[in-house]
Amino acid sequence: MIDKIKALARTVAADAVANRRHLHANPELSFLEFNTAKFVAKQLTDIGLTPQEGVANTGVVALIEGRNPQSRVVALRADMDALPIREANDVPYKSRVEGVMHACGHDAHTASLIGTAHILYQLRHDFEGSVKLVFQPGEEKIPGGASLMIKEGVLQNPVPVAMLGQHVATNIPVSKIGFREGMYMASTDELYLVVKGKGGHGAMPDTLIDPILIASHIIVGLQQVISRNRKPANPSVLSFGKVIANGVTNVVPNEVYIEGTFRCMDEEWREEGWRRITKMAQGIAEAMGGSCEVEIRKGYPFLKNHPELTRRSRAAATAYVGAQNVVDLDLWLAGEDFAFYSQIVDSCFYRLGTRNEARGITSGVHTPTFDIDEAALETGPGLMAWLALEELRHK
Ligand code: NI
């Protein structure tokens, strides 16, 4: 079967590259993937499938039925949205939409899954069970397209026993594959703080309640939550990316506005973290005569890779690409909305290497110079088809 899939992967690779380039040139922001969804549905229809459109508005779902289609179902997921970034690459497939760019490889994920669909459709008489294809919107934006797709029943009718997701990796050489069992990516919550005091002339500090000094103490003090309150074995970060204190040299403002992110890999600690952050920020502000409003916007949960499923997928990938092309992934405190699926169904989120140093393809995700080595678009579709079939065979 591997050789059959590899041969089919060679035949779909050129289409996968063309599809990826089309999507790359025509990116759409989170939850606005209308043309992308139409494009995906058209491709799936051309293959011979009957896609369901409009799931969570711009999501597309399709089922490839093998023999005895109800016996076992495996789901495969690709995300479709782009980012508000202005592309700096000078390539023929450069984004034609000003200020919008596929800078996280979701174009490649979508093109790869279309390729996988092509391969699996041609093999439908050779396997038992069904493969559910999930093309989801809005990975980059809270509340996450995955959570909306789940609400609209993507994990029902039929219920998948396992779910696989693939993401490009700019730090892994092209076509090498990365796996990690268990905890892999972090929960992500957004913090919005408003520190309130009493502004005035900088020469008369005794008449002020200086919100800038209070905010400074809060920013320093909150690191206690990470360095003292958190169990050292429990990965967690607290970072601030925006502080606005809009006074001038001699005018202290009334308020300071702070934004940050809190990430971890433990739901209990996550809630305790929220409580401690809130209490400490308010306590410091009050002790200094001011006040602090704390708003925490709950983001994605942490992503856990089901250990046995991940071990099986890793073994299957080793058979497909060779042991020298399978690597271990480190914990990564970025967020990923595939985490929502991983909380409900046995899931494995793995990485597809897209780096090529010799060709200068080294920029990270979410940068204006991000690109991929498209050789990965032969490995990606074939490997995912193979992993799905191996998982269907598993009893
Ligand atoms: Ni991404």
Protein fold of 2-184+302-393: Aminopeptidase (3.40.630)
The candidate with the shortest Cα–Cα distance to 278, out of 295, 291, 299, 256, is 295
Contact by Cβ (8 Å): 225, 151: no
Let me know: does 189 contact 270? Beta carbons within 8 Å. Answer: yes
Query: pLDDT of 127-150, one tens digit each?
Result: 999 999 999 999 999 999 999 999
Contact at 8 Å (CB) between 258 and 242?
Answer: yes
Residues 6+ apart with CB under 8 A from 121: 47, 48, 49, 64
Question: 187-297 — its CATH code?
Answer: 3.30.70.360
Residue tagged active-site, from 33, 139, 266, 391:
139
CA 140 to centroid of ligand 1, rounded, Å: 7
Sequence ranges of the domains in the chain = 2-184+302-393, 187-297
Residues of the chain with pLDDT > 90, as a percent, come to 99
The whole-number pLDDT of residue 175 equals 87
**What's the CA-to-centroid distance between 204 and ligand 1, angstroms?**
50
Tokens of 204: 């008369």
What's the pLDDT tens digit per position in 241-266?
A: 999 999 999 999 999 999 999 999 99
The letter for the amino acid at 71 is S
CA of 279 to the centre of ligand 1 (A): 33
81 is catalytic: yes
Does residue 293 have a pLDDT over 80?
yes
Going from the Cα of 168 to the center of ligand 1, the distance in angstroms, rounded, reads 8
- Which of the residues 28, 33, 79, 81 is marked catalytic? 81
Instruction: Tell me, yes or no, if 357 is annotated catalytic.
Output: no
CB of 353 closer than 8 Å to CB of 167 = no
Rg (C-alpha) for the chain, rounded Å, is 24
Q: For the chain, what is the mean pLDDT?
A: 97
Q: Which residues pair with 255 in a beta bridge?
A: 196
Instruction: Compute, in angstroms, the gap from residue 107 CA to the centroid of ligand 1.
Output: 10
| Number of other residues whose CB lies within 10 A of the CB of residue 92 | 7
Q: Which residue has the tokens 């996988």?
A: 116
Distance CA(70)–CA(392), nearest Å, equals 11
Residues with CB under 5 A from ligand 1 (ion): 104
Asked whether residue 395 carries a pLDDT value surpassing 80, the answer given is no
